[in-house]
Amino acid sequence: MSQPISITNDFALLTDKLKDIRPANTFVLVDANTKGLCLPLLREKVNILDDHIICIPAGDDNKGLESLAYVWQQLSEKGATRKSLLLNVGGGMVTDLGGFAASTFKRGIDYINIPTTLLGAVDAAVGGKTGINFNGLKNEIGVINPAQSVLIYVGFFKTLSQDNLFSGFAEMIKHGLISDTTVWKHICSADMENIDYNKLPELLSESISVKEKIVEIDPTEKNIRKALNFGHTIGHAFESRAIERGETKLHGYAVAWGMIAELYLSYKKCGFPKDILYQAISLIKEGYGAFPITCKEYDRLYELMTHDKKNEVKDTILFTLLSNIGEVKINTVVEKQEIFEALDFYCDSVGI
């Protein structure tokens, strides 16, 4: 289940990989944003046929059946075979959907992820999870099938807005909390408003290695891989609720807000240190603002949490919590009233 991951400032690695795979033909999946911002940089180094470029609309609300069917249709019409290769050039939406399309087209073709966002590089593109949103729920349909390779070209991140950089950094905050004090210290001292792109590859490598080690132990999420879901049970509910309200919230921001509530649950139920709780909250508040909710929305948020994929029994919500940095408690049952208390704490913490 392993997948080679390279962090580079040169596309020569991709050229070498294509020579190793020797696909019958190569297709490139992009969205409307990466087609304009990132594809030209890729084409300077790699020969790509115009007819083999597949473009889908940008935005997570397009990570659904319609876009998936379009990719399948394009692959079929453009002559893709089981020996073809799909390059997914984009953020998490593109690598999630493209990975799923490749994994299912003709029962599976090879694919390479080339994440163009910081979030994609440290999260979606790594670990082999693929999928689409369905019925208003995040990543409801998908498979675990690692890419042939993940190529992280740091130059792409210079095209990102500050919001998108912070969205990716939220997953790095999570990696710091679930790993060890050294990684956490590096995360706390990182300056995401004034990025040193010469030092970024080292910080990226450290963060990605946290996920790699966990995925290697538990590739199909039967046990410890659930550590990577910290902040996501409530975060995904925030994200889904935003969609219901006709709003768009970046995934990393939702996870950051979810971490505030789940750190509180960790403190109350697992004895997570209070000083680190407030250190993390301070870090999140400074960069992520708030997602405004009222107590009238708590029941709906709870209902959305019941659909979380970690849950194993109907009407029982399982959380990944922490007793300390790097001390993960998976499959922790949290009652409805405790979740409401955590949402109260979140509101108080962010000042709403």
Judge contact between 17 and 49, C-beta under 8 A.
no
Range of the domain at 110: 5-160
Structure tokens at 229: 């879901």
Express each pLDDT in 113-127 by its tens digit.
999 999 999 988 888
Residue 335 region, left (φ>0) first, then alpha (ψ -120 to 50), else beta? beta
Does residue 140 sit within a domain? Answer: yes
Residue 176 is part of a domain; what is its CATH number? Answer: 1.20.1090.10
Q: State residue 314's pLDDT score.
A: 66
- Are residue 167 and residue 308 in the same domain, yes or no? yes
**pTM (global) more than 0.85:** yes
Rounded CA gap, 254 and 314, in Å? 24
Q: State residue 46's pLDDT score.
A: 82
pLDDT at 174 over 70: yes
What is the arithmetic mean of pLDDT over 294-314? 87
Rounded CA gap, 168 and 294, in Å? 27
Express each pLDDT in 193-208 by its tens digit.
888 888 899 999 999 9
Q: State residue 339's pLDDT score.
A: 98
* Amino acid letter for position 166: F
Burial status of residue 85 (CB atoms within 10 A of its CB: 0-12, 13-18, 19 or more): buried
- The fraction of the chain above a pLDDT of 90, given in percent, is 77
Q: State residue 313's pLDDT score.
A: 67
Rounded CA gap, 330 and 260, in Å? 17
- Are residue 138 and residue 64 in the same domain, yes or no? yes
Q: State residue 73's pLDDT score.
A: 98
Judge contact between 69 and 101, C-beta under 8 A.
no
Rounded CA gap, 141 and 131, in Å? 5
The total number of structural domains in the chain stands at 2
Q: pLDDT grade, residue 4 (50/70/90)?
A: confident
User: Where in the chain does DSSP place strands (E)?
Assistant: 5-8, 26-31, 53-56, 85-90, 110-115, 132-134, 137-141, 149-153, 318-324, 327-333
pLDDT at 1 over 80: no
- Are residue 114 and residue 184 in the same domain, yes or no? no
Residue 77 is part of a domain; what is its CATH number? Answer: 3.40.50.1970
Handedness of CA 297, 302, 303, 309 (dihedral sign): positive
Average pLDDT, rounded, for the chain: 93
Rounded CA gap, 154 and 223, in Å? 32
Burial status of residue 78 (CB atoms within 10 A of its CB: 0-12, 13-18, 19 or more): middle
